[in-house]
Amino acid sequence: MIRLDKIQKKYDLGDTEVAALHEVSFEITAGEFVAIMGPSGSGKSTLMNIIGILDNATGGTYYLEDYDITALPDKEQARIRNTHFGFIFQSFNLFPELSAMENVMLPMSYAGVAYNERKKRAAELLDQVGLSHRMSHLPTMLSGGEQQRVAIARALSNKPNLILADEPTGNLPTDKGQEVLDILTDLHKQGTTIVMVTHNDAQGEMAQRVINIRDGLLASEVRR
Ligand SMILES: Nc1ncnc2c1ncn2[C@@H]1O[C@H](COP(=O)(O)OP(=O)(O)OP(=O)(O)O)[C@@H](O)[C@H]1O
Ligand SMILES: [Mg+2]
């Protein structure tokens, strides 16, 4: 499904350059649950941003299904991003002025889904994450765990094949983090591919494969 071939990322800071990834190569098969682990600053989020086409590599080739992502124009990259990926971030990244329902509806409006269908699906997804009683709440009226569940519902709105979760439990207490992990585990059982960055060894053990990143390099891989 995904193949990274010698992916590099250099951030150009004018007079200096930060080499965040050096020739990282690996594959992810459809249906896998992969954890990405490594110290702070090792390049995990950089890698996730490239996989999710939120950012472009500065070297190497990224294949997603039959597409060479690195060779595609921005517009085509955006289309693939919106149709293939669901994103879950550590800091939830909800729009503060939109209700839970409106946040979940938003990606569907980018994808051209009709209003009534958006509303129906958003209600179903919020129900699925246990928030049918909080649909009209603004993010500030929700707990952290509830906000992250809205973000998961939003990530699922366009029926993605692949969920990218960058420390999805990083800002949650253990019990609320477990709720988020349970939802991700269920999605994986239903066939969704999951790539999750985590600092937590126990969470890494839930994945079928752990990719360890150190200093922008793939340091080791563990398969279960
Ligand atoms: N936009 C940017 N401009 C310049 N340097 C950056 C940028 N984003 C990240 N970096 C640098 O690239 C390196 C990798 O950063 P990245 O965010 O990928 O690390 P990480 O593994 O996700 O760390 P953490 O566990 O703290 O989230 C770091 O040295 C960081 O300072
Ligand atoms: Mg990070």
Q: What single string gives the DSSP state of each residue in 102-133?
A: HHHHHHHHHTT--HHHHHHHHHHHHHHTT-GG
- Is the CB of 20 within 6 Å of ligand 1? yes
- Please tell me if the CB atom of residue 198 comes closer than 6 angstroms to any atom of ligand 1: no
pLDDT of the chain along its 224 residues, tens only? 999 999 999 999 999 999 999 999 999 999 999 999 999 999 999 999 999 999 999 999 999 998 999 999 999 999 999 889 999 999 999 999 999 999 999 999 988 899 999 999 999 999 999 999 999 999 999 999 999 999 999 999 988 999 999 999 998 888 889 988 999 999 999 999 999 999 999 899 999 999 999 999 999 999 88
Question: Which atom of ligand 1 sits closest to the CA of residue 167?
Answer: 27
According to the model, what pLDDT value does residue 110 have? 86
Task: Write down the pLDDT at residue 165.
Answer: 97
Query: What residue's CA is closest to ligand 1, atom 28?
Result: 41
Whether ligand 1 lies within 6 angstroms of the CB of 51 is answered as: no
Helix (H) or strand (E) holding 4: strand 2-13
Does ligand 1 lie within 6 Å of residue 19's CB atom? no
Say yes or no: CB of residue 18 within 6 Å of ligand 1. yes
Alpha helices per DSSP H over the chain: 44-51, 74-84, 100-110, 115-128, 144-156, 174-189, 201-206
Would you state the pLDDT for residue 224? 84
Of the bound ligands, which one is closest to the alpha carbon of residue 39? 1
How far, in Å, is the centroid of ligand 1 from the Cα of 186?
30
Q: How far is the CA of 21 from the centre of ligand 1 (A)?
A: 10
- CA pair distance 207, 156, nearest whole angstrom: 20
Domains and CATH numbers, the chain: 2-223 (3.40.50.300)
